[in-house]
């Protein structure tokens, strides 16, 4: 890397040779090669890491009742995410302040996921059968995608609403959407929590001593 340039010997006062101090010169060629290698690596890494969009379905809002998203209370499930990471609740059907009981849950395999798998079992079984046919090359990709959409968007498929408050941890929102993806729940929405639901979350958290 560094080269010592020797200026040669010379005669001293008494005829003796004295060594002159050499000057150091740094060879930057290896550093240039390293810079190009790093540049190539980051360019390839940026190309391979393509961003993925998160699919979120919002209920339609319209004045005409016929165009609004109608929920079947027997198929509706609402996940409530409070301020704390362990404030994960859900209830089935429509919320009634005087009778709805919030079920405490979490993002483990025995928590929200188990509940969603039970609720969406028939759709999941149909989707798995469809994937088997596709993997066996019994249908094209276009046919698979069309039938997959028909299955997950069918009238009998459950609808899940994830509700949050301004203090909800972003991590919990991502975890909730991940669980919906794993359980093939495509009829879903993210909304702000109603004040009555937020009060119920606070009361339930106090009851459980969380």
Whole-model pTM: value is 0.66
Question: Exposed (0-12), middle (13-18) or buried (19+): which is 200, by Cβ within 10 Å?
Answer: buried
**Residue 178 reports pLDDT greater than 80:** yes
Task: Give 86's pLDDT tier (boundaries 50, 70, 90).
Answer: confident
pLDDT at 50: 52
pLDDT tens per residue across span 88-102: 999 999 999 889 999
Average pLDDT over residues 56-83: 66
**pLDDT band with cut points at 50, 70 and 90 for residue 30:** confident
Q: Are strands 188-192 and 159-164 parallel, antiparallel or unpaired?
A: parallel
Looking at every residue in the chain, the average pLDDT score rounds to 80
How far is the C-alpha of 109 from the C-alpha of 81, rounded, in Å? 17
Q: What is the pLDDT of residue 41?
A: 76
pLDDT band at 162 (very low <50, low <70, confident <90, very high): very high
Q: How many residues does the chain have?
A: 210
pLDDT average, residue stretch 159-186:
92
Question: Which pLDDT score, from 0 to 100, does residue 58 have?
Answer: 47
Q: How far apart, in whole angstroms, are the C-alpha atoms of residue 166 and residue 69? A: 25
Confidence of residue 72 (pLDDT cuts 50, 70, 90): confident
In angstroms and rounded to an integer, the radius of gyration of the C-alpha atoms of the chain is: 32
Query: Quick one: pLDDT at residue 109?
Result: 87
For the chain, the 3-state helix, strand and coil shares in percent, each to the nearest 5, are: 40, 15, 40
Domain ranges of the chain: 2-48, 65-120+158-208
Q: Is the confidence at residue 51, as pLDDT, over 80? A: no
pLDDT of residue 74: 80
Neighbours of 162 (CB within 10 A): 24
At 104, give phi and psi (nearest 5°).
Answer: -75, 140
Segment among 47-61, 73-87, 114-128, 131-145 with least mean pLDDT: 47-61
* CATH number, span 65-120+158-208: 3.30.420
Q: What is the pLDDT of residue 143?
A: 92
pLDDT higher than threshold 60 for residue 107: yes
Higher-scoring residue by pLDDT: 70, 84: 84
């Amino acid at each position: 890397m560094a080269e010592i340039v020797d200026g040669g010997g010379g005669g001293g006062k008494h005829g003796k040779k004295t060594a002159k101090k050499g000057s150091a010169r740094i060879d930057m060629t290896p550093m240039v090669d390293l810079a190009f290698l790093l540049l190539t690596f980051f360019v390839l890494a940026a190309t391979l890491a393509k961003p993925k969009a998160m699919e979120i379905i919002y209920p339609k809002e319209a004045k005409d009742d016929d165009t609004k998203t109608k929920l079947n209370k027997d198929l509706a499930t609402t996940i409530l995410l409070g301020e704390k990471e362990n404030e994960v609740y859900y209830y089935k059907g429509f919320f009634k302040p005087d009778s709805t009981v919030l079920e405490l849950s979490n993002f483990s395999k025995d928590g929200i996921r188990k509940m969603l798998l039970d609720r969406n079992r028939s759709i999941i079984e149909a989707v798995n059968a469809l994937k088997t046919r596709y993997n066996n090359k019994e249908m094209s990709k276009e046919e698979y995608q069309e039938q997959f959409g028909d299955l997950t968007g069918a009238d009998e498929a459950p609808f899940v609403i994830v509700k949050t408050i301004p203090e909800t941890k972003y991590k919990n929102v991502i975890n909730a959407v991940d669980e919906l993806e794993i359980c093939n729940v495509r009829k879903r929405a993210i909304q702000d929590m109603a004040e009555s639901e937020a009060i119920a979350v606070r009361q339930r958290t106090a009851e459980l001593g969380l």
